[in-house]
Amino acid sequence: MRVFQILLVLFLAQSGVAWGQKGPIVPEVLVKKAVDYWRDDSSFTKARMTIHRPDWERSMELHSWTKGSSKALVRFTSPPKDAGSATLSLGDETWSYSPKINRVIKIPPSMKAQSWMGSDFSYRDLTKADDIVKQYTHVLIKQDKLDGKILYTIESTPKENAPVVWGKEVLYIREDLVIMRHEFFDQSGKLIKVLEAREVALMGGKLFPKIMRMTKIEESDSWTEIAHNEVQFKKEFADAFFTVGSLSGR
């Protein structure tokens, strides 16, 4: 099976052109370019996060800021009961702020698998942008067409002793570097959850997933959707903006 995969990769690498670049497709390069395209040098977004359950649904408005690959701040602006709540990520470290108790809490590694703001995203989902690039090896396993564009399927498996929780991840990357689907598998190879780009639009001067949905496979009627209303890239943010002291917004 491994020999077949290698032959398939060699065939596909010689049969197409990825992201406008001629020559063999290198999966590691494609994944890094897709991640870099997603986050850019820096970004600012306004979005609505909707948490759906079989018997209820609620939405929250949020603003988020990122700089480089290791700095991110998310602050909720509505509804009133959630306004002011914030999460800060600096590399592998994460803090949350609750205006109800006026307290900053550092999220320990043992809690990073827990739900973020009651959603289907975990704290780990917010802080692992570079894990898929640095901690995994990548193999191109398939090449299809989607909406007239080439869609590459990349299987990513953790390197030996990599500090990650997933048994493998599978990325579906369009030739324009938009990640259309991201699958997460446990250590036994069971698919646990899927992040999908449900709508792609021109935002901030480039194609971007306007609507994204995270769904847990065993709870298909429970999902979390993030709809971006505004996206700006290459904004100038001082490093001092991404500090624990800035979590309260004061």
Q: Which DSSP string corresponds to 80-149?
A: TTTTT-EEEEETTEEEEEETTTTEEEEE-GGGTTSBSTTSS-BHHHHH-TTHHHHSEEEEEEEEEEETTE
> Residue 4 corresponds to which amino acid?
F
3-state secondary structure (DSSP) of residue 1: coil
When comparing pLDDT for 232 and 70, which is higher? Answer: 232
Average pLDDT, the chain: 87
pLDDT band at 196 (very low <50, low <70, confident <90, very high): very high
- Check whether 62 has a pLDDT greater than 50: yes
Mean pLDDT over residues 22-28, rounded? 79
Question: Contact at 8 Å (CB) between 35 and 129?
Answer: yes
Asked if residues 237 and 72 have their Cβ atoms less than 8 Å apart, the reply is: no
Q: What is the pLDDT of residues 83-96, one digit of tens each?
A: 999 999 998 889 99
**What is the pLDDT at residue 15?**
37
For every residue of 49-74, DSSP letters joined together read EEEEETTEEEEEEEEEEEETTTEEEE
pLDDT of residue 250: 61
Provide mean pLDDT across the span 199-212. 96
In one-letter notation, the amino acid at residue 142 is K
Top-confidence residue, 109 or 212: 212
Residue 174 has pLDDT above 80, yes or no: yes
**Which is more confident, 129 or 36?**
36
Residue 16 pLDDT: 40
For residue 157, give every residue at least 6 positions away whose Cβ sits within 8 Å of its Cβ, in sequence order, or none.
Answer: 136, 137, 139, 167, 168
Q: How many percent of the chain have pLDDT more than 70?
A: 89
Q: What is the pLDDT of residue 17?
A: 42
Tell me the pTM.
0.85
| Amino acid 70: pLDDT | 84
pLDDT of residue 24: 75
Domains of the chain: 2-246 (2.50.20.10)
Q: Per-residue pLDDT tens for 213-245?
A: 999 999 889 999 999 999 999 989 998 889 998
**Backbone phi and psi for residue 120, each to the nearest 5 degrees, phi listed first:** -90, 0
Cβ–Cβ contacts within 10 Å for residue 147, how many?
A: 8
Phi, psi (degrees; rounded to nearest 5) at 186: -80, -175
158-167 average pLDDT score: 89
What phi and psi, each to the nearest 5 degrees, are found at residue 61? -95, 145
Which pLDDT score is estimated for 111?
A: 86
Answer with the residue of higher pLDDT: 9 or 117: 117
